[in-house]
């Protein structure tokens, strides 16, 4: 390589105080502006923009012509002198001495990276590598990265052990038919819906606080703005605690993530009235939720799960993050602890005013009750023998939850479609790129 681009600086690492310094930058040609005697290249890197200024009478003719001819979105490396300029991005410009075109882009682009011409979401997803070059999309995925780091740090500071559980399994986590079957040599297997069974088994191992951030797979045929067939779930499981303890952990985590994102400079790209939610979040029971819905004319019977319209009604009524607790046993998984003498269980959902974010519960830790619950769901206890065995030899009381990363980001950033926060989303229609 002719230029020392290994020693290049990001655009934000250069300031007006570097006036007169010799620097190297590299990036993509974002825009070109021809004012006759002066030509500007706006070069974009991961951190922002740098203005490269060429005065026709002051630079080599060949250099000037090369800059004019390079197509937008081509990759360039530039060596030059920093000059203070208040009107330029970051209040400096670079007077180039050398320009190397490292990769020439096609003149016809799949979408406009400046954001001046909008594109449909499908167009953006088909050319995701190009879409991430736009400022708003870039900020989504930098925020996503920082959110995941903040969550890991939060859990690590509270003594959680991060685990990795299998994504190829022999039995459904929650029953039902929403499974992706695969051929596993001579046997049938499935892509895992959740790490639930395995994280409970590890509670029996003595690792009394475990967490996992990993993909989950749901073969549901929903084609909505909030469903994915491959998503990322944040799962925790904690021994010797009540449901209320893990609910407090969850609301503290949400508030922390919002606080971190509130300080992110690129948040301005989303035009949000961004508010950090106050804790503790409001708690309402399932019965109270049904009463609110009936009062507002929603057609729902006790024991039904909440529809999208029901979630919207509750969200508008409450207007902030909230928990729904004490759900009917029939619509929650077999591992949720029943409430004695009632048809309900000690389970909860965390709700944003727009949609559900997380589900959790106090878990059954009795072998006999768990086996009976499995069979009451029409499932074979034999299929869950590997899981049930962990409950035979000393399983402490425990509770936990799973939080959807994509839904958290979608709701926090005010986005219309969950696919926006996934680099390469998988739904019932999209398998590539």
List the Cα angle 236/329/280 in 5-degree steps.
Answer: 45
- The model's pLDDT over 338-395, given as tens digits with 9 standing for 90+, comes to 999 999 999 999 999 999 999 999 999 999 999 999 999 999 999 899 999 999 999 9
- Alpha-carbon Rg for the chain, nearest whole angstrom, is 27
Give, for 106, the enclosing helix (H) or strand (E): none
Question: DSSP for 252-277?
Answer: HHHHHHHHHHHT-GGGGGG-----PP
pLDDT exceeds 90 at position 115: no
Burial class (CB in 10 A: 0-12, 13-18, 19+), 158: middle
Domains of the chain: 5-103 (2.40.50.140), 128-421 (3.30.930.10)
Give the pLDDT score at 29. 98
Residue 390 has a pLDDT of 97
**236: Cβ–Cβ under 8 A, 6 or more apart, which residues?**
155, 160, 199, 209, 210, 211, 246, 249, 400, 401
Phi, psi (5° rounding) for residue 232? -110, 125
Gap between the Cα atoms of 397 and 239, Å rounded:
6
d(CA 202, CA 164): 11
Mean pLDDT for the chain?
95
Please check the confidence at residue 402 and state whether its pLDDT lies above 60: yes
- On whether the CB atoms of residues 82 and 14 are closer than 8 A, the answer is yes
d(CA 179, CA 181): 6
Averaged over 202-217, what is the pLDDT? Answer: 97
Please enumerate in sequence order all residues whose Cβ is within 8 A of that of 182, keeping only pairs 6 or more positions apart, or say none.
168, 188, 189, 190, 191
Which pTM value belongs to this model?
0.94
Residue 107 three-state SS? coil
Please, which residues have CB within 8 angstroms of residue 200's CB and are 6 or more apart in sequence?
A: 237, 335, 363, 387, 390, 395, 398, 400
Q: Does residue 312 register a pLDDT over 60?
A: yes
**Model pLDDT, residue 376:** 94
Judged by DSSP in three states, 148 sits in helix
Query: Does residue 54 surpass a pLDDT of 70?
Result: yes
Instruction: Read off the tokens for 77.
Output: 């490396």
Confidence grade of residue 3 (pLDDT, cut at 50, 70, 90)? low
Residue 47 pLDDT exceeds 60:
yes
**pLDDT tens profile 56-84:** 989 899 999 999 999 999 999 999 999 99
């Amino acid at each position: 390589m002719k230029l020392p681009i290994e020693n290049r600086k990001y655009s934000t690492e250069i300031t007006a105080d570097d006036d007169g310094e010799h620097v190297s930058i590299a990036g993509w040609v974002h825009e070109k502006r021809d004012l006759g005697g002066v030509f500007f290249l706006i070069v974009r890197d991961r951190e922002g923009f740098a203005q490269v200024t060429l005065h026709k009478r002051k630079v080599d003719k060949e250099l000037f012509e090369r800059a004019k001819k390079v197509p937008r979105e081509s990759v360039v490396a530039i060596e030059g002198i920093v000059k203070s300029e208040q009107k330029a991005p970051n209040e400096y410009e670079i007077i180039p001495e050398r320009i190397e075109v490292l990769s020439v882009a096609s003149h016809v682009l799949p979408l406009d990276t400046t954001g001046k011409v909008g594109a449909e979401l499908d167009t953006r997803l088909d050319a995701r590598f190009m879409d991430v070059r736009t400022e708003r999309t870039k900020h989504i995925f930098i925020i996503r990265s920082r959110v995941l780091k903040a969550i890991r740090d939060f859990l690590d500071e509270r003594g959680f052990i991060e685990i990795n559980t299998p994504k190829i399994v022999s039995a459904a986590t929650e029953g039902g038919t929403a499974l992706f079957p695969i051929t596993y040599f001579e046997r049938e297997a499935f892509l895992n819906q959740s790490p639930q069974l395995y994280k409970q088994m590890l509670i029996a191992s003595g690792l009394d606080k475990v967490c996992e951030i990993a993909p989950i797979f749901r073969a549901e045929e929903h084609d909505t703005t909030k469903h994915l067939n491959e998503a990322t779930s944040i799962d925790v499981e904690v021994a010797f605690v009540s449901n209320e303890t893990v609910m407090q952990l969850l609301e503290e985590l949400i508030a922390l993530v919002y606080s971190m994102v509130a300080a992110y400079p690129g948040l301005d790209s989303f035009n949000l009235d961004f508010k950090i939610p106050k804790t503790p979040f409001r708690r309402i029971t399932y019965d109270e939720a049904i009463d609110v819905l009936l009062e507002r004319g929603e057609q729902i019977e006790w024991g039904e799960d909440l529809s999208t319209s029901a979630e919207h009604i509750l969200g508008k009524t409450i207007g902030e993050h909230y928990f729904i607790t004490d759900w009917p046993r029939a619509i929650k998984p077999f591992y949720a602890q029943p409430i004695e003498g009632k048809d309900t269980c000690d389970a909860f959902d965390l709700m944003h005013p727009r949609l559900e974010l997380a589900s959790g519960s106090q878990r059954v830790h009795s072998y006999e009750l768990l086996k009976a619950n499995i069979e009451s769901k029409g499932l074979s206890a034999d299929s869950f023998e590997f899981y049930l065995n962990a409950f035979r030899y000393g399983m402490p009381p425990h509770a936990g939850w799973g939080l959807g990363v994509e839904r958290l980001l979608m709701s926090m950033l005010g986005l219309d479609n969950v696919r926006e926060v996934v680099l390469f989303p998988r739904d019932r229609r999209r398998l590539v790129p």
